[in-house]
Amino acid sequence: MTKTGAWLSAARLRTLPLSISGIIVGGGLASSQGYFDLIIFLLSLLTTIGFQVLSNFSNDYGDGVKGTDNDDRIGPERAIQSGMISPREMKRAMLITTIITLVISIFLIYRSFGTEHLIYFFIFFLLGIAAIAAAIKYTVGNSAYGYQGLGDVFVFIFFGLVSVVGSYFLYTKTLDLIIFLPAISIGLLSVAVLNLNNMRDRESDARAGKNTLVVKMGGNLARKYHYIIVITAMISSIIYSIFTKQQIKITNLMYIIAFIPLIIHLVKVYNTTDMKELDPELKKVALSTFLFSILFALS
């Protein structure tokens, strides 16, 4: 692996479609109500990508320096684990990514609220700081929440609620409780990706002292938990359609197409006994979520 390849690997570009799914849904919801701003949409995408890359760098750094990424790990080799990137270099990359993302987020907030809504401006600025802290503290430090089984909670909040509801608010300056339903869908599908990752790495994580929710629950319960979150995600979006459409048309339910690969995925998880075989499923669920977000926005 080259140095450039190591950095691209550390950025984990395959996670980016999942990270922007909530932004797409939030923009679609706002557009359906007559609110949309292309600049806000593009800045939202760039901000979210920045947060995701920071999270990936931090994850690589945190697991690398703690020895969690070792030869027992089933997934692809990480940058620090491979020795191609030093911890010091990764910390520098984390700092640079933080600064760039924070600057973009300030432009985004200003574009949305200007100086007319200073309270909103500061609330979203604090949300940005919280997102940066959450991205870093997942695996970094002695109190890393990813090592305490809290990763699912933070992923649900930031990938689902904050991403969808927050981006919707940037356009509309209003809050509608009904939009929490598709936010729940995106949040739970994002949690499903994390749960798959943790199911795959359960044994190596347990040996390394990384007490993810899967390690705490055990393999059988984690599998049932996976079924519940994916099925609930699908149901939540359908409930949204029922409550918001007086007469549901087939075009309003285009997103159901994305349920097909998700259902096939659930069958795969049910029939899989060797957790190593779940690795390709991460990409499938992430891309299915991305497809869902696009079709939902269009519908």
Between CA 178 and CA 71 the distance in angstroms is 46
For the stretch 142-151, contacts whose Cβ atoms lie closer than 8 Å and that sit 24 or more positions apart, written own/partner, are 144/62, 146/59, 146/62, 146/210, 146/212, 147/209, 147/210, 147/211, 147/212, 148/211, 149/211, 149/212, 149/213, 149/215, 149/216, 150/213, 151/194, 151/198, 151/212, 151/213
| Interaxial angle between packed helices 259-271 and 279-298, expressed in degrees from 0 to 180 and rounded to the nearest 10 | 160
Mean per-residue pLDDT, 10-27: 91
Contact (CB, 8 A) for 226 and 195: yes
Higher pLDDT, 184 or 149: 184
pTM of this structure: 0.91
* pLDDT above 90 as % of the chain: 59
With cut-offs at 50, 70 and 90, classify the pLDDT of residue 86.
confident
Contact (CB, 8 A) for 146 and 81: no
Mean per-residue pLDDT, 246-269: 86
Between CA 52 and CA 243 the distance in angstroms is 32
Between CA 230 and CA 46 the distance in angstroms is 27
DSSP state of 70: S
The structure tokens listed for 249 are 């048309």
